[in-house]
Chains A and B, each alone.
Chain A
Amino acid sequence: MSLRRALILIPPLLALLAAPGHADTPGGVQAKNKAADGEKVYKQICAACHMPDAMGSGGGAIPALAKDKKLADPAYPIAVVTKGKGAMPPMGDMLSSAQMAAVITYVRTHFGNSYAQPVTEADVKRVAKAGGSAE
């Protein structure tokens, strides 16, 4: 096997190294978050900013996800989660497509939202691939 070929076959470990070379960040690498179900992903990732009750904070600077009509079309939350929006960073480096699908499904069926149709891993991959912004 050529060296070039071998390099291409290296798994994307570099996704762990989200820290850009210029910022003041911790060193080393982090284990991936392994939470599988949507409720756990929400608690371990989203609740940090959107709060455990999904009410957001800062008078709307971090928006509430509770009773959020923008969640009706799943394309919108998928785009926000995969690409980021405003101060929110894109989550693709931290979460798998399956985790993103699970947590979007969870939020769309909790916190006063009732959009029963589940979001699938394939949905997430399709939107992520399409590019563009979540505006």
Chain B
Amino acid sequence: MKDVTQPSRRQLLTLIGKMGGAAAMYQAMTTLGHAAETQFSGPPVLSGARPGASVVVLGAGLAGMVAAYELEKAGYQVKILEFQDRPGGRNYTLRGGDTFTESSGAVQKVQFGPGNYINPGPWRIPHHHNCLLHYCRQFGVALEPFIQLNHNGFIHSSEAFGGKPQRYKAVATDFRGHTSELLAKAANAKVLDGSVSAEDKEKLLEALRHWGVLDDNMAYTSSVAVSAQRGYDRPPGGGVDGAPVPSQIAKLGDVLDPQVWTAMSFYFNYVMQTTMFQPVGGMDMIGKAFAAQVGKLITYNAKVTKVAQNGKGVTVSYKDVPSGKMNSVSADWCVCTIPLSIISQVEMQVGPKLAAAMKAVPYAGQLKMGLEFKRRFWEEDDNIYGGHSFTDQPIAQLSYPNDRFFSSGPAVLLGAFARDAGAFELTGMTPQERIEAALAQGEIFHPQYRKEFLNGVSVPWSRVPWILGCTSRWSEENRAAHYQNLVAIDGRVVLAGEHASYYGGWMEGSLLSGLDAITRIHQRTQAA
């Protein structure tokens, strides 16, 4: 029944907006269940651009292209300079026939069959990255589910379970069961009596009994009920042998291995929660969709060497890489999306605060590998359809293809998504050595590896010549000292990109940063 004295949601928000301003309004909207997913509430409305106002954008990645797209739509004259011979930046896909040359000079030719690919950079899209999803919708980029959490994937630790891979569903159930039993013991031993009321203690014990699938003695033991979560030795069937045979639970000591609970907590992360998506046919469908809008504005093979500015505008010098010829372009404003890992190659005429900020951001150096196999043995033999397996070896994880399930013929799985020391170790190898390492480490999960292997490619981001790193990784200290200086407009120059966001390494961060930068430029223009 509706209480007639209660204001409508809209009335309440209007009132709060009037009294407390936008911040209070946003807070209130969040409390009422609106808005909390993203800071994106629609593309910027840049009305009333001055005729002839111009912007030069450095970099045709997503930050640069979204900036150019919205600026041009608003009436600005826009040019984009791009170092590579393609749009998209880190938003790209490797397919059969593509060539990848590392900064070391090592050349890999991708040998995947038709339709197979890997996304070396971004590869999954959270359901709440509304800015990215907005443009996918607008440009007609077809998306399909990215199978993130797969209960039938494996986890592997060299320190537990005798080094044998375990199914996620089994060890996650065991972790929950064992810890529930321990907590129940503590509660029953009155250890928690200072912390919970008698009533809450009863509720807690009831929760633990069901949540942890404990037996009548509040113990976690092997049973058909437990197997109904962790999996059976013989699953339920029909007829004479229809009765299930339960599996044996793992020991507490094994289950407490950090590989178990970090795999579980991984999926609790806001950015890792299902539902997730990927573009049909490869991540570069997004970059290509943007390029279909702004491609005519892009000058490719342009290596920016200098950004000069005075009070009225900017002049950007660049080299046409194939010919070596120097050129320049002038504009009222510059949006620079060049990654900070290589910005030192550009002479930037900016103030000391921005200059210091540009040098203050560490980059992560992840590595991905795509391995092509003759058949989908992970589906056919192991019942794994998409999702991940985790290991404490340098390759860190396997990820299974999320598309064309049940198809026959060669398929590509992600044979490594390495980070930190593991990524450096693999990066330091030759491409051939990396393949051997990925096979040796991956066959712990799948003994079929050697028999079914066809070919593979590795992308070590520390050796990708146009970025020499993967993504920004701000520390809290650096962010406190430098973030606002990094994103502030410096005369006629403003930086954008994932490094200029709180969503480092995500396409959403690049887009939100690009939109924020041009919104502020537009405001300055209007105020002038």
- The reply to whether A84 and B362 contact each other, CB–CB distance below 8 Å, is yes
- The reply to whether B460 and A28 contact each other, CB–CB distance below 8 Å, is no
| Stretch among B27-35, B64-72, B213-221, B419-427 lining the A interface | B419-427
Per-position 1/0 for B245-270, Cβ under 8 A of A: 00000000000001100110011011
How many inter-chain residue pairs (CB < 8 Å) link A and B?
157
- Pick the contact of A23: B123, B158, B364, B394 (CB < 8 A): B364
Among A48-107, those with CB < 8 Å from B are 48-49, 51-52, 57-62, 84, 86-90, 93-95
Complex alpha-carbon distance, A44 and B402, angstroms: 32
Residue on A nearest B399 in the bound complex, by CB: A26
- The reply to whether A44 and B345 contact each other, CB–CB distance below 8 Å, is no
Main secondary structure of the interface of A (DSSP, over half): loop
Set of chain A residues within 8 Å of B444, measured between Cβ atoms: none
CB distance from B51 to the nearest CB of A (A): 40
Complex alpha-carbon distance, A95 and B473, angstroms: 18
Would you call A47 an interface residue if the criterion is a C-beta within 8 Å of the partner chain's C-beta atoms?
yes
Which A residues lie at the B interface, using CB under 8 A? 13, 16-33, 43-49, 51-52, 57-62, 84, 86-90, 93-95
- Pick the contact of A19: B361, B365, B419, B427 (CB < 8 A): B419
- The reply to whether A58 and B124 contact each other, CB–CB distance below 8 Å, is no
Would you call B227 an interface residue if the criterion is a C-beta within 8 Å of the partner chain's C-beta atoms?
no
Which bucket holds chain B's interface residue count?
35 or more
Complex alpha-carbon distance, A26 and B124, angstroms: 12
Extra inter-chain contacts (16) besides given A23-B271, A31-B393, CB under 8 Å: A13-B258, A21-B270, A22-B502, A23-B364, A27-B272, A28-B263, A28-B391, A30-B422, A48-B365, A58-B342, A59-B345, A84-B362, A87-B362, A87-B468, A89-B364, A90-B362
Would you call B413 an interface residue if the criterion is a C-beta within 8 Å of the partner chain's C-beta atoms?
no
- Pick the contact of B428: A23, A24, A47, A89 (CB < 8 A): A47
20 pairs of residues in contact across A and B, judged by CB atoms under 8 Å = A16-B258, A18-B419, A24-B123, A24-B271, A25-B419, A26-B397, A27-B263, A27-B272, A28-B155, A28-B259, A28-B390, A29-B392, A31-B158, A44-B428, A45-B428, A47-B428, A49-B463, A57-B103, A58-B465, A87-B362
Among B300-328, those with CB < 8 Å from A are none
Set of chain A residues within 8 Å of B503, measured between Cβ atoms: 22
Set of chain A residues within 8 Å of B460, measured between Cβ atoms: 48
CB distance from A107 to the nearest CB of B (A): 14
Would you call B75 an interface residue if the criterion is a C-beta within 8 Å of the partner chain's C-beta atoms?
no
8 tightest Cβ-Cβ pairs between the two chains A and B: A28-B390, A27-B266, A48-B427, A89-B362, A48-B424, A26-B396, A87-B341, A47-B428
Set of chain A residues within 8 Å of B266, measured between Cβ atoms: 27-28
- Pick the contact of A30: B340, B366, B421 (CB < 8 A): B421
Set of chain A residues within 8 Å of B392, measured between Cβ atoms: 28-31
Complex alpha-carbon distance, A25 and B399, angstroms: 13
Q: Would A30 and B468 be within 8 Å (CB), given that A22-B271, A51-B104 are in contact?
A: no
- The reply to whether B345 and A26 contact each other, CB–CB distance below 8 Å, is no
- The reply to whether B388 and A27 contact each other, CB–CB distance below 8 Å, is yes
Set of chain A residues within 8 Å of B342, measured between Cβ atoms: 58, 61
Would you call B410 an interface residue if the criterion is a C-beta within 8 Å of the partner chain's C-beta atoms?
no
CB distance from B368 to the nearest CB of A (A): 10
Complex alpha-carbon distance, A129 and B342, angstroms: 30
